[in-house]
Amino acid sequence: MKLVILILGDGEADEIASKLIEAGFRLTRLASSGGFLRRGNTTLLLGMPAEKVDEALGLMRAALASVTDPGSRRGTAFVLDVAHYEQL
């Protein structure tokens, strides 16, 4: 099991979340802020089997490919191992 944490600008979050949900991924969306100017960010949390990580990252990359703001970081993804989880 893996936990993918994706941090991106508020402007890209709706499109990426929609594409992930359409592809069958379940996610939690958190509002966050950071950086020098405290700009608005969105953090997406996705739990998934290890074999689905490449598919999810591919969807994220494809959705962010259209961002054309030069010199800007489009998003940051962390992929973490999950030792244990429970659905309650």
The domain that holds 42 is classified in CATH as 3.30.70.120
Tell whether the model's pLDDT for residue 67 goes beyond 70: no
Phi-psi region of 38 (alpha: psi -120 to 50; beta: other; left: phi over 0): left
Q: Give the pLDDT of residue 36.
A: 61
Confidence (pLDDT) at 68:
61
In a domain? residue 15: yes
Domain count of the fold of the chain: 1
- pLDDT for the residue 74: 74
Average pLDDT over residues 32-59: 87
Pairing of strands 75-81, 28-34: unpaired
pLDDT of residue 72: 61
Condensed to tens digits (0 to 9), the pLDDT of residues 19-41 reads 999 999 999 999 887 766 667 88
Residue type for position 76: T
* Arithmetic mean of pLDDT, 74-78: 88
Averaged pLDDT score across all residues of the chain: 87
Domain of residue 59 covers 2-67+76-81
Q: Is residue 86 part of a domain?
A: no
